[in-house]
Amino acid sequence: DAKTTQPPSMDCAEGRAANLPCNHSTISGNEYVYWYRQIHSQGPQYIIHGLKNNETNEMASLIITEDRKSSTLILPHATLRDTAVYYCIVRNSNSGYALNFGKGTSLLVTP
């Protein structure tokens, strides 16, 4: 699976959009971009995933660049409950392989 690079930490004011970047310059054509988050003392939680088109669900939006070498997770109106570590993971969707979490981005949402 391709390697990802994320900033170690970010801050965001409550109510504002949180934009979390991820670089995955070695991504291959059949690899998807997944985002998970982990709130303190809980297991990781799936957020969203995509191949090449932008995706949106009730939690977030995923913007993937045309060359697929980077992506951005957008939380449109961050709340204090969004404070968590966010992991960007690249993998083949149906290979049955593990998720390679890396260290992620620690997002702090402030009042």
Partner 1 sequence: DTGVSQNPRHKITKRGQNVTFRCDPISEHNRLYWYRQTLGQGPEFLTYFQNEAQLEKSRLLSDRFSAERPKGSFSTLEIQRTEQGDSAMYLCASSLSATGDIQYFGAGTRLSVL
Instruction: Name the site residues for partner 1 (rule: CB under 8 A).
Output: 38, 41-46, 49, 85, 87, 93-104
Cβ closer to partner 1: 41 or 66?
A: 41
Cα distance between residue 10 and residue 105, in whole Å: 7
Least distance from partner 1 to the Cβ atom of residue 82, Å? 18
Nearest distance, CB of residue 109 and partner 1, angstroms: 20
């402030």: which residue's tokens? Answer: 110
Comparison of 23 and 38: residue with beta carbon closer to partner 1:
38
- Structural contact between residues 4 and 101, judged by C-beta atoms closer than 8 angstroms: no
Q: What is the C-alpha to C-alpha distance for residues 13 and 66, in angstroms, rounded to an integer? A: 29
